[in-house]
Amino acid sequence: MLQMQDVVKRFGKLNAVDGVTLDLQPGVVGLIGHNGAGKSTLMQMLATLCKPTSGAILLDGQDIVARPALMRGRLGYLPQDFGVYAHLTALEFLQYFAALKGVRDARRLHELLSLVNLHEQAHRPAMTFSGGMRQRLGIAQALLNDPDVLIVDEPTAGLDPEERLRLRHLLGDLGRRRLVIVSTHIVSDVENLASHLAILRQGRLVAFETPEAVLARAAGQVWAASLAPADYEALRQHVHVLQAQPQGGRMQVRMVHPRQPFAEAQPVQASLEEALMAQRYADARVAA
């Protein structure tokens, strides 16, 4: 559906996106990377807001760099720094964007407010909305043209856990019949949501795979143990610690190690974030 072929975006001497080749199909794709990894730049190119320095982007085989209108008609985009016009109500806000996008069906606005669970707030000024409500209004705006590609850039930044979960459910539902690309640096935000993960590091795509594959590779590499504080200090010198929590005078530790690091360490099921960290440490060991 959406293909990137050796896509590069250069700013001066920096390759913000450095030769990304990817073929995305409908479903939810988690675009994961640290701050500055190139996620927003890549998404802006997919959204035809800027052009690659080199490489090609194709939607169903058609070149959207040369013909951006092909993408724009099928795209919904929620940028990272999405601002609502505070004095407008939720409904007025959607009416404004509907006018800009040439959507004339007034019923659709109410359907969308219901879809993002803001129908009861339709006449409330967006100024009074929480961060999560604003993001949901942003998603309603992005869905006005019933897009089959939805791109959302760091949608969960600054949201509380309940709103994160709500947004995750919404994106999961939307991904059943479209391509939804969600960028984040918080891996747990796409856990149980993304069908594929695309991992960017310094502009390069370092992995594109299913969460199940990432978890399977981490099997037998994440360990837990309860340690006396002095033992924990010693352990930190030679084991990658993922988490350490003081509890009852001891440290509850989760760590990455290619084999059992000491007799008391028990193998545990890794979270997706832990599995990705285990992979990173394994890559670093190979590179060293």
Q: Give the nearer residue to ligand ATP in terms of CB position, either 38 or 76.
A: 38
Q: Verify binding: residue 205, ligand ATP, rule CB under 6 A.
A: no
Q: Are strands 250-256 and 222-227 parallel, antiparallel or unpaired?
A: antiparallel
Site track for ligand ATP across 6-25, x = CB under 6 A: -----x--x-x---------
Say how far apart CA 20 and CA 55 lie, in whole Å: 9
Q: Which of 4, 22, 41, 239 binds ligand ATP (CB under 6 A)?
A: 41
Element (H, E) at 56: strand 54-59
Say how far apart CA 88 and CA 170 lie, in whole Å: 24
Q: Verify binding: residue 156, ligand ATP, rule CB under 6 A.
A: no
Q: Which of 7, 20, 37, 152 binds ligand ATP (CB under 6 A)?
A: 37
Say how far apart CA 245 and CA 228 lie, in whole Å: 12
Contact segment (CB under 6 A) with ligand ATP among 35-43, 119-127, 205-213, 228-236 equals: 35-43
Place of tokens 């016009």: 85
Hey, how many other C-beta atoms are within 10 angstroms of the C-beta on 283? Answer: 13
Site track for ligand ATP across 176-195, x = CB under 6 A: ---------x----------
Q: Verify binding: residue 36, ligand ATP, rule CB under 6 A.
A: yes
Q: Which of 20, 22, 29, 33 binds ligand ATP (CB under 6 A)?
A: 33
Give me 286's structure tokens: 């190979």
Residue 277 region by backbone torsions, left for phi larger than 0, else alpha for psi between -120 and 50, else beta: alpha
Number of residues that bind ligand ATP (CB under 6 A): 12
The residues of the shown chain that bind ligand ATP, judged by CB under 6 A, are 11, 14, 16, 33, 35-41, 185
